[in-house]
Amino acid sequence: MNVIRPIRQSDYQSLHDIAVESGIGFTSLPVNDELLQRKISRAELAFNKKEVTQPGDESYLFVMEDTRTGDVVGTTGIEAAVGIDDAFYHYHLSKVVHASRELNIHNTVEILTFCNDYTGVTEICTLFLREQARGGINGRFLSKVRFLFMMEHRERFSETIIAEMRGVSDEKGRSPFWEWLETHFFSMDFPTADYLTGIGNKVFIAELMPKYPIYVNLLSKEAQAVIGQVHTKTRPALQLLQEEGFSCRGYVDIFDAGPTVEANLSHVRTAQSSLKLPVVIDDATAAQGQTHYIINTSVADFRAVATEMTISEEKQVAVLTRQTAAALNVAEGDMVRFAPVTFPD
């Protein structure tokens, strides 16, 4: 069984291996010992912070553990409020009109405007599943568990949720969008810029980024073509978020021009459809039910599984097997929150 739980210090080597495997462009997990240690420490502080009444600088990082082997096979995270300590940059794609009624000329042009519009919102991030664990519902589980956690602990998160999607780059880390910026403004390659951002060094962005809106039609054709497009490996993740109700409002990454998608937590499909009920343990009844994503209601001792359970509408209880209850660290009468793996058409 795979269990999702808070990361801890003993997971450091696994997180480092995941960072190496994730490759260039996965900004939230740069291969840097100090940063990875800091990520684990920040997560431990966030999960153990008891009195939280509004989103702040908390960073929640989870891991998926294969309980049969003890191996960590994936990770997923939530930043409670971005841009509080470090500036959070985007480009916003919009339009301006250049028109002359006297000459009967009307031209609509797209522009990219440098902004901090998403400051203070919650970001879902750092989702990566290792090669040996891909398949089945593991990837969906890593993504959707965050919505259940946020729904259960709403006071810790913003109503607006965003996700930055990895933009187009090749196997050597070359980004067509960045190459244009590099040539005219930065004089450093994409992997270097990506790494500096990942380790928290963002001062160079404000110092070197063009201060005025960029006319899209002045970019190279290659750069224009990738604005708002995702990396091949990111398409399944984008589709999953779109199914949950996320959409792009024109914001793109300042390095690779990948889209940022957003949704209100109240409207996210998994969060909206989730229920919270007390537990009854009955192996035979639970095994006959449907597969659900199930979480306990703890923060510090959070656990999540994806397995069969039955809902007794008459008694208003969630019926779990002994194995599931043990994996979640719950007993009869404790509350769980859950959502179905598949929704009815």
Active site positions, annotated: 231
d(CA 154, CA 175): 37
d(CA 166, CA 53): 32
Closest CA to 276 of 150, 148, 146, 143: 148
Closest CA to 182 of 170, 172, 194: 194
The pair of three-digit structure tokens given for residue 31, joined into one six-digit string: 């291969």
Q: Answer for the pair 268, 122: CB distance below 8 angstroms, yes or no.
A: no
Secondary structure letter of residue 334 according to DSSP: -
Strand duo 59-66 + 71-79: pairing? antiparallel
d(CA 224, CA 292): 42
245: left (phi over 0), alpha (psi -120 to 50) or beta: left
H or E element at residue 311? strand 304-312
d(CA 117, CA 83): 10
Which residues are registered as beta bridge partners of 123?
A: 79, 162
Whose structure tokens read 């899209």? 216
